[in-house]
Structures are given as structure tokens and as C-alpha cells.
Structure 1
């Protein structure tokens, strides 16, 4: 195999994994565009330096089969090579589990929710994940040639998805009314929780959401959420549906510049959470279920930029490994880093 099929495309395929597609939007929405840029920059810088080191080792003589383990053990000693080999094996195993779980999540939550067999979502992950793992195991067991036949269509699908992301930015530059959510002032309403609690989906009006924010206490006195009461009659921030896709031309880019880190139990809000009244316990807003910070988001995103070893793993199947590994690995790393940074500004800035 040459540089493109043997190194560049496999690396690109591994780098653009599930985190890139199903977690990057959440990372940018939480960290803001400014912090998200530095998260991507730091993670990509680590893999870029690693790619340079790998390239230096790959060009230091002939590279036969054995991949990174062989190159490191022959250049830096068998002790270091063995330690890296064990870590690389464990990392690849965990990464495979992460990719399978992400694929099952996309399938069950977005593509075909009716396929859920158990009420407990974790049991569904185990069932479908085991089946997918068996399928992938059979493909890998068949050999490198069969893996390459499956790899090319998958890479094409990934590239088409990325192109669609950029196309959608300009196609829906003015926003879209096809997807909407209910807002009370600057706070989204948990309509899913409302339907589970009361058995129907309410109208996004002050009267329709009354049960979600007003409740009788032990003495029979009606208590209403103070934030709900403030915007019940407000003319500036009314209770209404708003488009989820606002578009790049409607100022959302500047609204998403800064971070919105939360701790468990805090209300998701677009305004200043410190100056707004705290919600009553029964209020059906959208609450944070996890603590986020700059370093934690780096930990979530970093696996998305790994995968640069995919090409060097096939050193035994390359025509000229000493040439293909540096060119393909660095090319894939730079390409993915560029696309990630562009998507932060144009793909998820709207």
C-alpha cells in the first residue's frame, strides 16, 4: 500500500471518531468558541509533536512489520518499547469500546429509537455493542485486505458528513424553523420531563406551562417559580418557542464566544446565572447533570485527536514505510486539526 491508502486515510478515519461528531458540539457550547479553540489547539499540538517524533523514528532506517512497537524498541530500547506497546494495546482496546458505544448511541438515539429492546438504556448498549463488536471482530479476523475494503467506504461517509456540516452552515445561514424548543426568558424548558410527569406535551405559553412552574404547598397556597412569574408578562423576553438553528447571520456566533461551565443542579441559562433567582424544586427547567471545566473538556476531547498510529500499525503492508509514515501521518494530523478549528467557527458557531 502507498501513502494515501496505507497511512493517510486510515489515520484520518481514526481521528474523525465519535467524539468529533457527537461531543464536539457540546464541548463548544459549554466552553464557548474562545476556550474551545484553545482546547483543540492544545490537543492537536500534543498529537502534532507526537507525529513529528514518530516521523523521526520512522525515517531512521528500514521499518519492517511491527508498527510503533518495533520502531520504538529498536531505536529506544526493548524496555521502553515494551512499556509503550502494552499501553498502546490497552489504549486501542479502550478506544474500540468507546467507538462501539458511540456508534450504538447514534443508532438508538437518533437513527432508530424504536430498536431499543430494554427500558434500561445501558442494557441496550450492552446488547447492540456486543453484536457490533462481533461483526468488527470478524472483519479484522479476515485480514488487512478485507479491512481496507471496508475502510474506504467509511472514510468516504466521514468526508461526506463533514462536507454536509459546512454546506449546512451556508444553506441555513438565516436559521431554520424546522427545529424549535420552548424558552422561559433565557431558560429552556424540559418538555420531555413535563410529558413524563403529566402525560402530555404542553403549549409553549404562560398558561400552558403553568403546571411546570406552579404548585400548591402543604397549606394549599399556590407557589410559582419567581423566574417564570417575571417573564410571564414580560414584553422583552416572553415565553415562546425559539429556533434551535439560529443561523450564522443572526448573531449567535458572538453569543457563543464565552464559556458556560456549570455544576450539577444548576439551571442552564443564557443570562447571568448569579443575578437571576434560583428555581423552586419542582420547576421543570433543564438542569446540568455534570461538572464541567476547561481541563475536563480537554480530557473529553483529547481522544478525538488520537489515531495517528493507524498508519504506522500497517508498516509491514507499506511499499515504502520510511516515506509513507511521515507524510501520511503528518498530513492526516494537519488536515484534521484544520477541519476542527474551522468547524468551531463556522460549523458550531451558529
Structure 2
């Protein structure tokens, strides 16, 4: 990606510090991730353990994010941009989609939480009064959520500049609310708080208590006391409470999601994100302790908005909670739009996301914002926030695990271009982050975790065939290839592990497409090289003429869909060129064991470039091949459609001279009879395999050798002549 999607350029504080702090400190007091909800069900000990686990996972991920962010220039897309540039389009695209869905569901989660808070305040008649401010039903609550989401849409459509200003304003409100709450714990006298439970029995009322600081209250709240969630009627557990609580921690990526809108992302992301993590972790633990020491369990479990009831200035708390929750929804919405825009610009999904590329005159991706808003609107139909909390948490954990995986891959691969200025990470932190994310995924919801991994696998496979190779599909395998090539030893080869290593000589690729495809079918997971000899002298040329041809040959391989390498050479003759390719086309212990010639000029002298070669040029080349290489097998094709295949490890041919025979020289009549026998005894196959005799040592017999091969294969159709240097039967496992 070049450039950024916006030209506003936010700094460290507004871009990366304020959004996470605003989201975390604001939503901890709201219904979606209430600190009171956590300590009310889990108790102080388990709540502190949840915070520690959540922030451990987040901390390890933040270290990886900081390392990748300081390794080079960042653009729009946040975590997606980092992962796609580190692990390639397969992982980047699939995780980008999941991160987009996580932000979309997170935005819907905050909107539903805000609707619930509004309905709790204005939709239920307060005790002792008959004022009914807002009507209540599923459709009315959906309408309220739609209106709130439309407000978020308007801010995001204006652009990142107004978003930054709104962020700072809401942060000031949240800071005031937080200060008011802390003061209220000390200033408010013990009071009873009436609680209405409308979802179970509209006429039932319970009383919670704010006791002030009390050791008795603290002891009662130390252990867990999981009860029924009054909004869903489901029994809560450690995993379900953690799932709801962890959603309040996902805002920590709000700063990195705006990477394309930052002035200096590599400077701002590490400083802003780490400071936000440390600050919010301390505030979370402080509030948990204060709540456990001053509020009884009934108040904590049954009234998610109890902080408003005990505040010295309740309207400010109400406004702060509403503003923070709305801001968190807006943050997830604009983050989702940036991810969608980055996916569209990378063309990973073709025309499916083409509409999301459109931007306003200022560079704001308005169509991506609208599409993201539409998806969030669809999620709002779920109705209950705790219903989608587990799915959102699983998606975020999977994204965090992949961010750690990206950093781990770069670190283990020792990539030369991976030189982050942020050094406070190791592969141990990456590995711990991956393990923590994966374990918590399955603890929270095994079904959601399995479904998420399955969805990720489907996206990986789809993008694998649609996208070019990236780092994960290129660099680490290259390192593994080098490692295992060094471990190969030709002295320890065994015939049972033999695979054909094929070099197919191609003069005219336009007329050899079927032959290239056929040899590709024969290679059986072996090495396959397409060789071409250019008959010129490099010393007499101003530049290498093969360099421009390389891309054309690679395009041919892609078009024919064959798994082959390309090897081109300059030589004064085909014989010299073939020898060069045979000696240079192998790699390590993977040496070419077969030579396939497709040069009609050598065979039939139809090409002007080959007419100057003597008739024995082919036989000499065959003889040179069979003498020169110490590899398992050799082959020589017959005609323009013939191929070769070799087999077995070369051994000394002891006893060849003493082999019993009835003839000292094979006559042409004998060869013709063998040819006739083959034709009569078998129907016409697609291809025949015959033995290729070793060329005679006397070069004067080369014409006879070639003539008898012609007689042997006359009328046989496509024929493969095979020469094996040793037995290929193995009795060992």
C-alpha cells in the first residue's frame, strides 16, 4: 500500500493513547464489560486472576505489535496490514476478514450495551413513580440501536479528523467520570439501592446495599458466587464471565487500527499502546478492590449500573457511560472500515470488495464505512449482547494469536528485513501469547473456537489459490529447503526413496506444451526442470540475451500449470549446452537423473540452427550423459514425443564383459524382428517404455547405434527409452 487513507495525521496521544484508555476506562463501568459484573460473579480473587490473564495475553500481543510496527512503514489496516506483510496474503487476508468481523460484532456489542443502559435508566418506571419514558420491546430496542449506530456512522463519514476531536472530548468526560467514581467510594454514605428485575418478574424488587468500606463486605466478595445473568437467564461461569470481561479489553487495538491515520505510526503505536495497557490495568484492579470492599454481591450481580446510584453526581456518570460506550462502538466501526478498505486495496477478493476502494476527496474510505455500518446493523438483530460476546472474544483472541505468530515467524526465520527498533520482545513472548490466546479460546467456547478455526482454514485455502505467495509461503520454506538440502547425502541414498529428477530439453515451447505436461505427470514428486539451449556466444554479445526470456518461460510454466523450474543457458552447440544444464540444474544432492531431448533439429535437421551439427551429435550427447553423471538413471526419447525415465542407484558394472551372449553384434534384422514382435503382441498404448542400450565406445559406430534405435521404435508411437545402471528391486523396508 502506498500512502494512507487520510491526510489528517494524528499524534501519539490522540491516535494511540487516548482511544484505548477511553474505551477501557469508560466501558468498565458500563453493562457490556462492567467491572461490577465481573467481581459480582467471580469474586475478587478470580476477578484479579481474569484481569491478569487477559492483560497477560494482551501484553504479549502488544509487544509483538510494537515490534512489527517499528520494523517499517505502516499504512491503513492496523493488525491486518502487519499480518499480511509478515505472513503473506493467505494469513493476512483470512485474519483480516476475521478481524473485520470481530470489530463489526464488537461495535454491535457496544451499541446493544448502550441500548440496555438507556432502557435501564429511562425504559423502566423507577420505583415509586409511574413515569414511563421509553417504550420497551425487541423492535423498539432495535430502533434505539439503529439510531445510535447512525450517529456513529455520521461521525465516521466525516473522517478521522472529527473522530480524533470527538475522541478527545469523550476522553475528558470519561476522565471526569472516573474521578467522580473514585471520590464517590469514599464520600458516599451506606445506602440501600432498590433493584427492579424486569426480565424475570416486572413486579419483583430486590434491594442491594452500598455498605461503604467494610471488612465483612470484602470477605463476602473474595470468593466466587456465580449466579444467573438477569439479562439472559443463563447461569454464569468463569468462562462466560471472562468472555464478557475480555470484550472490554479489545479496545487496546483501537490505536493500531488507525495506523493509516497516524503521523508517525512506528513511533506512536509502541508508546501509546503500552502506556494505555499499564494505566487501564491499574485502574481495573483498583476499581475491582473498591467495589468488593463497598458493595454487596446482590448489588454487583443484579444492577450493572449501580455506579450511578452511589455517585455523588449521578448525571455525570450516566453521561460518561453513554459517551464512552458510544465512542467504543464508533471506534470499532471506524476500525472495521479501515480493515475493509485495506483488504479492498490489496485486491485479495477481486470484485467482491471493489466498492470499498472508493474514498472521498480527503481520502476517507466512505464506502468502506457504509459497508461496515450495514454489517453492524445486521448484527444488531441478535438483540442480546451476551449472545455474541463469546463469538467476538474468540475472533479477537484468534487475531491476537496470529499477530504473535507473525512476529514469531519473522523472528525465527531471521529475516534480514526484520530489524525492529522496539527490542523488548523475544520469541518466548510471542510463543506465550499464542499459547495463551489458543487456551483461552477453547476455555471460553470450544464450539466458537472450533468454528472460528474452521472458518479461518476455509479462508486460507480460498486465498491460497487466489493470491500471490507471501512471506510465510516463501521465506520460511526456503530456509527449510536449505536446511534439509544440507542434510541430504548421496552416499546414503536408498532406492526405495528414489524419485525421478527430470530435465526436459525444450527448443520450441509452443510446440512442446503436450510434452511438457506429460513429463509433469511422470515426475511423481520429483524435481522437474525445463531446459533450453541458446546457440550463441556470450563473449560476442553486448548483454545476456537469456535474461529477458526468463519471465516468458516462467509465464509459460504458470500458464501450463506444471510444477517445474526453468534453466536456460548459452552454448556454441546443443551438446555443450546439454552438458552445462545437466551439471548445473541440480541442487545439492538432488541431481538430475534423466535427460529428455526435444530438439527436432538434432533428430531430423529441420531447424537451420541444428543443420551444422554432424549426425553423431545426438549419440555423442547421449554417451556423454550416460558417462558423465553419477545419478540413478538415464533416459533418451524417441522422436518428438518421446521422454525418458531412470531408476536405481549407480553401481559398478562388474561382470558386464563376461555376460553370456549368443551374438557379438546385433543385426538390423534382429532389431526389426523385435520391433515387429512388440507391435504384434500388444495393442497400441498411450506410451511405451523400452530399454535404452548404452552407446558404443567407438564413435564411428554412432550412426549404426542411432539407426538401430530408429528401427526398434519405428511405428511404435510415443516411446520412452530407459537406461538403468543398477537393479531397482528393494527387499528392505
Q: Measured at CA, do residues 191 and 90 of structure 1 come closer, stay the same or move farther in structure 2, by a change above 3 Å?
A: closer
Structure-1 residue corresponding to 2:143: 127
Structure-1 residue corresponding to 2:21: 12
For 2:258, what is the secondary structure of its paired residue?
A: helix
Structure-1 residue corresponding to 2:250: 306
For 2:72, what is the secondary structure of its paired residue?
A: coil
Cα distance, 1:194 vs structure 2: 8.0
Deviations 1:54-81 (A, max 9, x none): 0010011122333222222112222111
Deviations 1:9-59 (A, max 9, x none): 012223345454333212211111111111111111111111111001001
Checking the alignment, whether the CA contact within 8 Å between 1:39 and 1:297 is kept in structure 2 is no
Please tell me the root mean square deviation across aligned C-alpha atoms, in Å.
2.9
Task: Specify every segment of 5 or more residues in structure 2 that has no aligned partner in the other structure, as ranges.
Answer: 1-9, 125-131, 295-733
Cα distance, 1:316 vs structure 2: 2.2
Q: Measured at CA, do residues 54 and 196 of structure 1 come closer, stay the same or move farther in structure 2, by a change above 3 Å?
A: same
Structure-1 residue corresponding to 2:279: 335
Q: Does 2:62 correspond to 1:41?
A: no
Query: In the aligned structure 1, how far is the partner of 2:77 from the partner of 2:199?
Result: 51
Q: Measured at CA, do residues 145 and 191 of structure 1 come closer, stay the same or move farther in structure 2, by a change above 3 Å?
A: closer
Query: In the aligned structure 2, how far is the partner of 1:156 from the partner of 1:41?
Result: 27
Deviations 1:158-189 (A, max 9, x none): 222221221111113xx423x3459xxxxxx9
Checking the alignment, whether the CA contact within 8 Å between 1:108 and 1:115 is kept in structure 2 is no
Checking the alignment, whether the CA contact within 8 Å between 1:17 and 1:304 is kept in structure 2 is no
Deviations 1:98-152 (A, max 9, x none): 111111111121256433224x2x2222010011111111110111111112111
Query: In the aligned structure 1, how far is the partner of 2:202 from the partner of 2:108?
Result: 33
Following superposition of structure 1 onto structure 2, how do residues 274-285 of structure 1 map, counting pairs within 5 Å?
none
Structure-1 residue corresponding to 2:167: 151
Structure 1 length-normalised TM: 0.71
Task: Specify every segment of 5 or more residues in structure 1 that has no aligned partner in the other structure, as ranges.
Answer: 183-188, 202-240, 265-285
Instruction: Indicate the larger mover: 89-98 or 143-152.
Output: 143-152
Query: In the aligned structure 1, how far is the partner of 2:281 from the partner of 2:63?
Result: 15
Cα distance, 1:317 vs structure 2: 2.2
Following superposition of structure 1 onto structure 2, how do residues 1-350 of structure 1 map, counting pairs within 5 Å?
1-16=10-25, 18=27, 20-22=29-31, 23-111=34-122, 113=124, 114-118=132-136, 120=137, 122-172=138-188, 175-177=189-191, 179-180=192-193, 196=203, 244-249=209-214, 251-262=216-227, 289-350=233-294
Structure-1 residue corresponding to 2:702: none
Deviations 1:291-345 (A, max 9, x none): 1221221111111111122111222222211110011111111111111111111
Structure number with higher relative contact order (C-alpha < 8 Å, ≥ 6 residues apart): 1
Checking the alignment, whether the CA contact within 8 Å between 1:166 and 1:347 is kept in structure 2 is no
Q: How many residues align?
A: 276
Query: In the aligned structure 2, how far is the partner of 1:7 from the partner of 1:192?
Result: 39
Cα distance, 1:192 vs structure 2: 10
Query: In the aligned structure 1, how far is the partner of 2:61 from the partner of 2:223?
Result: 30
Deviations 1:198-239 (A, max 9, x none): xxx9xxxxxxxxxxxxxxxxxxxxxxxxxxxxxxxxxxxxxx
Query: In the aligned structure 2, how far is the partner of 1:298 from the partner of 1:74?
Result: 32
Cα distance, 1:5 vs structure 2: 0.9
- Which is higher, the Rg of structure 1 or of structure 2? 2
Q: Measured at CA, do residues 13 and 169 of structure 1 come closer, stay the same or move farther in structure 2, by a change above 3 Å?
A: same
Checking the alignment, whether the CA contact within 8 Å between 1:32 and 1:258 is kept in structure 2 is yes
Query: In the aligned structure 2, how far is the partner of 1:88 from the partner of 1:152?
Result: 25
Cα distance, 1:195 vs structure 2: 7.4
Structure-2 residue corresponding to 1:230: none
